[in-house]
Amino acid sequence: MDDLIVTYLEMRARPTLTVARPYRGVMLLRLEQPTAAFYRYLYTAVGARWGWLARSEMTDSDLLAVITDPLVEVFVLYVGGTPAGFFELDRRLPGEVELTHYGLAPEFIGRGLGKPLLASAVERAWTGEPERVWVRSTNRDHPRGLLVYQWAGFVPYREERIPG
């Protein structure tokens, strides 16, 4: 297996993003009372093809401890009533917001939803005026992942290579 290359990106100021947002049949809702089962469904639907595993390996109680923390926010994108993607923000480190998860289910990639979803995540991350917002991406994520993060205003600041 190839080495895993992790790129860390950050923004230190709120960007101005101009993006057409699809509204017809599209809703973005905060997951107010998450269940482990529904979160796992989202996580698997979005992340399985990219090799997301960490949350799948957590016990329900450990997972719920994270996603029900008042400083963690999960937002779900619905298209025509179907969960199409999500993003998760972690505010547990003072002055920082990590975009821990962001993505679309495979059936919704290529429909012009990725940039609006990321713009919504960035907009929400800057509420409360943190010192920085950051994200990590790997060479196993969507091939355009790094470009989309940079489009949104994230700047790479570190790269880590983990032998495969």
Q: What is the CATH number of the domain that holds 20?
A: 3.40.630.30
Into how many domains does the chain fold?
A: 1
Split at pLDDT 50, 70, 90, the class of 58 is: very high
Would you state the pLDDT for residue 55? Answer: 92
Residues 105-119 have a mean pLDDT of: 94
- Average pLDDT across the chain, whole number: 93
What's the first-to-final CA gap in the chain, in angstroms? 5
Confidence at residue 25, expressed as pLDDT on a 0 to 100 scale? 87
Closest to 96 (Cα-Cα) out of 132, 147, 42? 132
pLDDT of residue 142: 83
What range does the domain containing 88 cover? Answer: 4-162
Q: How confident is the model over 17-35, as a mean pLDDT?
A: 85
- Output the pTM of the full model: 0.93
Cα–Cα dist 158/136, whole Å:
9
Residue 56 has pLDDT above 80, yes or no: yes
Q: At residue 1, does pLDDT exceed 70?
A: no
pLDDT of 81: 94
Q: What is the pLDDT of residue 27?
A: 94
For residue 89, count other CB atoms closer than 10 A to its CB.
22
DSSP state of 41: H
Helix/strand/coil for 16: coil
What integer pLDDT is reported at residue 22 of this predicted model?
65
Percent of the chain with pLDDT over 90: 80
Contact, 149 vs 137, CB < 8 A? yes
